[in-house]
A and B are shown apart, each in its own frame.
Chain A
Amino acid sequence: MIVMAVCVGAMACQRTEPRDLAARRASASLARVASSAPLPARFGYGRPATTDEIRLINIDVGPDGVGLPAGRGTAAEGEPLFAAKCANCHGPAAQGTPVAVALVGRNPGDAFDFAIAQDRERTKTVGNYWPYATTLYDYIHRAMPFDKPGTLAPNEVYALVAFILARNGIIKDDVPIDARTLPAVRMPARDRFVPDDRERSTRVR
């Protein structure tokens, strides 16, 4: 009986705090069978995470460069790495293949005309579509190479980032990429991104 009342209460109040449940049960004369205590300030479950434990898996890199590790790399260093570890899927010139997207390509005048035709979806590249250069570090380190994710050292990631940026004409070939220079790289599509506004209205947007 108690179990049943608790379940009914939880199902009916999916978006309500358990704190309110007690009051609602009382007003629904369920108080006698449902005597669940009000929500405590804390349950005390879990254990404190140490700084070292956090550092071990806190791998994200923000658009401000927060999270970038020590190390550096250049496009020249990235070229053989790309050939060895990336070209198999992305193509020798990072031009894309049937199994992996193109990484290199700019539109004339950095035009942003992807919405014109359906087939433009496949032509989005780092050079013409990615708003933040830091995302390159975050993603390559996080998920690439596809067949051996998580195996690249910081210097290797920096070198691959530099190679891709240079091949897109965004940085010069000899510019070293590191925790200081990467967040300062301004991407061609940087100002193109706007927050979703669909929910504000029932209009089709």
Chain B
Amino acid sequence: MPRPLAPNDATHSELSTDSDLTSNPPAAGLAQEPLVSRRSMIVGAALAAGAKVLQGVPGAPAQAAQSIPNPTTIQGRTVDELGDRSAFVRSRRKISNSGTSSQTPLDDLYGTITPSDLHYERHHAGVAVVDPAAYTLLIHGLVERPTIFTLEELKQFPSASRVCFLECAGNLARNAKEESRAQDICGLTSQSEWTGVRLSTLFREVGVRPAATWFLAEGQDAAVLARSIPVEKAWDDAMIAYAQNGEPLRPEQGYPARLLLPGWEGNTNVKWLRRLELADRPFMTREETSKYTEALRSGNARQFSFLIDARSIITSPTYPQTVKPGWIELRGIAWSGRGSIAAAEVSFDEGRTWHAADLQPPVLAKAHTRFRYLWEWDGRETTVLSRAIDDTGYVQPTQRELIDARGLGAGPYHLNPITGWRVKPDGRVVYRTERWA
């Protein structure tokens, strides 16, 4: 449901306000919201016509289960041109108060690919509408051959696909409450399989000059958002992506083409990309000076802090779930912009001892990696923490280590503390809150 944009650019700091943490209601029932899609209407019709009662529809709200007819007794709907989720599934992004970002429901998901329509969003000037027939990418500056490419021409080049995460630099709700979901805590990260052309291929095509050390990446949204990127990243693993999870990019992910910088903060992955300019120095845009920099306790501000450090979060069981004593599979995701996840660990004693969780293969570099740990809960109040360790040896830090290194106010960017959940004796699971102020 689109909301009017407020001219507010301070989404990240707002993330730490209480007002932004009103949790979505857990899996809303069918009766709570009108069903609008054609398929849902068919379900609705079945509901209305249902005389028989079917018990035990998994995941179905109790009220709906009362009136869903036995599916073995009626013909189902026929094929359709476009698929849709089950009418029983109510996963939604969570929209921030300012309307400039939305968070992925991490706790609703089971794998490592985020459904494209649930990919997190963070826009500086809304979602741009770009005509693919009119789309061009200009590469100029310190190059031998300033060149304009159409979308079709970009697609002609040898293509590549890779699975990697994106994450907003400001992805921690610092004033989270016990009743916060994983989505609220750090839902500004998602993962897709991206397909496009390697930036190195394009840079060879235009003949990047040796003097070029930086390039400006510029979008064609109303913010004409621009970031300076070191040229080395282009030769390493940067891409111009035109497809996401096998289909053209979603509008909110930069249709028809975006920059993709695996492992680097979301803001640098410029959407609706229109221009790359090679230069021998950074451009010092607003987004790399007054924003997306971290004032440190040393009295300096860290600039060009591209890297996403290793991080993890348990996504189940989490608020608002309740559990019973016995065997519980702890599930979560771990990721690092530095490389691959080497280990994900869980602790039941506030981090004094750690236990290795199982990693779900394939474990890819700069990618969300799912971990699981089978745990037998004895019914006593327990705090469950997780931490990630990547293949460079970097260990996800505690909140205290981050504050000691940077200062309390260095946020909101690049905060990746160990987080956890408290399982209460009555089975409720709540977020293990932390004080940041």
Contacts and interface: CB of A to CB of B under 8 A. Distances in A.
B32 interface: no
Contacts of B302: 193-197
B377 interface: no
Contact of A143 (B156, B224, B298, B394): B224
A128 to B, nearest CB: 10
Interface in A89-119: 89, 98-101, 112-119
Interface in B381-437: 392-395, 397, 401-402, 404-412, 436-437
Contacts of B397: 204
Contacts of B222: 143, 149-150
B212 interface: no
Main secondary structure of the interface of A (DSSP, over half): loop
Contact of B407 (A60, A115, A129, A194): A115
Nearest to A113: B299
Contacts of B8: 98-100
Q: Which of the four size classes fits the interface of chain A?
A: 35 or more
Contacts of A119: 409, 437
Contacts of A46: 147-150, 153, 205-206
Interface string A57-70: 11111111000000
Interface stretch (B63-71, B73-81, B138-146): B138-146
A48 B72 CA distance: 64
B274 A57 contact: yes
A131 interface: yes
Given A48-B147, A115-B297, A199-B307, A60 B9 contact: no
A41 B204 CA distance: 8
Given A45-B157, A149-B222, A205-B405, A118 B7 contact: no
A115 B411 CA distance: 8
Contacts of A202: 392-395
Interface string A5-22: 000001100110110000
Given A112-B295, A202-B395, A139 B157 contact: no
Interface in B263-285: 274-275, 277, 279, 281-285
Contacts of B206: 46
B323 to A, nearest CB: 32
Given A115-B295, A147-B7, A198-B309, A135 B138 contact: no
Interface in A72-102: 89, 98-101
Interface in A138-161: 138-139, 142-143, 146-147, 149-150
A42 interface: yes
A196 B236 contact: no
B300 interface: yes
B261 interface: no
A116 B408 contact: yes
A53 B139 CA distance: 11
Contacts of A120: 295, 409
B22 interface: no
B369 interface: no
A42 B207 CA distance: 9
Nearest to B155: A45
A101 B7 CA distance: 10
B322 interface: no
A166 B85 CA distance: 56
Interface stretch (B42-50, B158-166, B313-321): B158-166
Contacts of A131: 284, 289
A115 B296 contact: yes
Interface string B202-240: 001110000000001010001111100000000011000
Interface residues of B, number: 88
Given A143-B124, A149-B223, A60 B408 contact: no
B304 A195 contact: yes
Contacts of B205: 42-43, 45-46
Given A43-B156, A46-B205, A143-B224, A114 B277 contact: no
B146 A142 contact: no
A53 B409 contact: no
Contacts of B145: 48
A142 B148 contact: no
Nearest to A89: B7
Most chain B beta-carbon contacts within 10 A, residue among A98, A134, A192? A192
B141 to A, nearest CB: 9
B127 interface: no
B129 interface: no
Nearest to A61: B283
A25 interface: no
A49 B143 CA distance: 11
A121 B409 contact: yes
A192 B224 contact: no
A49 B149 CA distance: 9
Contact of A49 (B146, B297, B395): B146
A132 interface: yes
B200 interface: yes
B52 interface: no
A170 interface: no
B289 A130 contact: yes
A139 B402 CA distance: 31
Nearest to B299: A112
Q: Which 10 A-B pairs have the closest CB atoms?
A: A115-B407, A114-B295, A146-B7, A139-B286, A196-B305, A49-B146, A46-B147, A46-B149, A204-B397, A202-B394
Given A60-B277, A61-B283, 12 more contacts: A46-B147, A48-B145, A49-B148, A62-B279, A99-B6, A101-B9, A134-B284, A135-B286, A142-B223, A143-B124, A196-B302, A202-B395
6 contacts: A10-B161, A60-B285, A62-B279, A115-B296, A115-B408, A124-B295
